Structure 1
Amino acid sequence: MGKIRHIAIQVPDLEKAAAFYENVFDLKRVGEAQSPIGNAISLSDGLVNLTLLHFPEGTKGGKGGPDWAGLHHIGFVVDDEAEADARIKKYGGEFFMQLEAHPGVDAEKKYKDVNGIVFDMAAHNWVQAVDE
Structure 2
Amino acid sequence: MDPGEEAAAPGGDDPFLLHAAKCALQGLPPRAAFTLPAAVPRLPQPFSTWIQNGLLTRLQTSAPAIRTLSSSNSFSQNIPSSLWKLGRLNHVAIAVPDLEKAQSLYKDVLGAQVSETVALPEHGVYVVFVELGNTKLELLHPLGEKSPIASFLQKNKTGGMHHICIEVDDIKAAMTELKKKKIRILSEEPKIGAHGKPVIFLHPKDCHGVLVELEQA
TM-score for both structures, normalised by structure 2 = 0.48
SS at match of 1:58: coil
2: CA distance, partners of 1:95 / 1:23: 38
C-alpha deviation, 1:71, in angstroms: 1.0
Q: Identify unmatched segments of 5+ residues in structure 1.
A: 125-132
In the TM superposition, what is the alpha-carbon distance from 1:88 to its structure 2 partner? Answer: 2.9
Identity within the alignment, %: 24
SS in 1 for 2:148: coil
* AA partner of residue 120 (structure 1): E
CA distance in 2, matches of 1:13, 1:80: 35
Contact 1:26–1:45 (CA under 8 A) maintained in structure 2 = no
Matches within 5 A, 1:37-116: 37-55=124-142, 58-62=145-149, 63-65=152-154, 67-97=157-187, 101=192, 106=196, 107-113=198-204, 114=206, 115=208
Sort the Cα spacing of 1:87 and 1:47 in 2 relative to 1 into closer, same or farther, 3 A: farther
SS in 2 for 1:17: helix
- More RCO (CA 8 Å, sep 6+): 1
* Distance in structure 2 (CA, Å) of the matches to 1:84 and 1:99: 11
| Cα contact 1:38–1:59 (8 A) shared by 2 | no
Matched, 1:9 2:94: yes
The structure with the larger Rg is 2
Q: Using the TM superposition, name which of 14-23 and 29-38 deviates more.
A: 29-38
Number of equivalenced pairs: 123
| 1:57–1:92 distance in 2 versus 1, CA, 3 Å | same
User: SS of the residue aligned with 1:121?
Assistant: strand
- Kept after mapping to 2: 8 A contact 1:32/1:40: yes
Partner of 1:118: 211
After TM superposition, give the deviation of residue 9 of structure 1 in Å. Answer: 0.4
- Give 1 or 2: higher helix fraction: 2
Runs of 4+ off more than 6 Å: none
- Give ranges in structure 2 of 5+ residues lacking alignment: 1-84
The yes-or-no answer on 1:34 pairing with 2:127 is no
Question: Residue 97 of structure 2 contacts residue 153 of structure 2 at CA under 8 Å; is this kept in 1?
Answer: no
Aligned position for 1:22: 107
Task: Look up the SS of the partner of 2:133 in the other structure.
Answer: coil
How much has 1:96 moved relative to structure 2? 0.6
TM-score (normalizing by structure 1): 0.73
More strand by share: 1
Letter in 1 for 2:153: G
Alpha-carbon contact 1:34-1:40 (below 8 Å) kept: yes
